[in-house]
Amino acid sequence: MTSLNNFMPPMVESCPVYYCDQLERILLADAAKEKQESEKNAQVQELNTVKQEFKEYKKESQETLKSESEKFKRHIASQDEIIIQKNLELKKRGLRMNEIYQEAKLKYENRKDHVVLIQGKLTERKQTIKEKNVEINQIYYEKKRQVRKLVSGHKQQIRNLEEKHKREMKKLEQKYKLKMVLCDDDNKEEEFFSSSEDLE
Q: What is the pLDDT of residues 101-134, one digit of tens each?
A: 888 888 888 887 777 888 888 888 888 888 888 8
Can you tell me the mean pLDDT for 6-31? 65
pLDDT per residue as tens digits for the range 141-195: 888 888 888 888 888 888 888 888 888 888 888 888 777 777 765 444 455 445 4
Structure confidence at residue 53 as a pLDDT band (50, 70, 90) = confident
Give the whole-angstrom CA distance, residue 119 versus residue 50.
10
Per the prediction, the chain carries an average pLDDT of 77
Closest to 29 (Cα-Cα) out of 46, 4, 47: 4
Give residue 13's pLDDT: 45
What are the backbone dihedrals phi and psi of residue 164, each rounded to the nearest 5 degrees, phi first?
-65, -40
Query: Is pLDDT of 8 > 60?
Result: no
Its pTM stands at 0.30
Give the whole-angstrom CA distance, residue 125 versus residue 53.
13
CA distances from 130 to 125, 136, 159, 183, 185 (A): 9, 10, 44, 79, 83
**Other Cβ atoms closer than 10 A to 41:** 10
Are 23 and 7 spatial neighbours (Cβ–Cβ below 8 Å)? yes
Query: Is pLDDT of 196 > 50?
Result: no
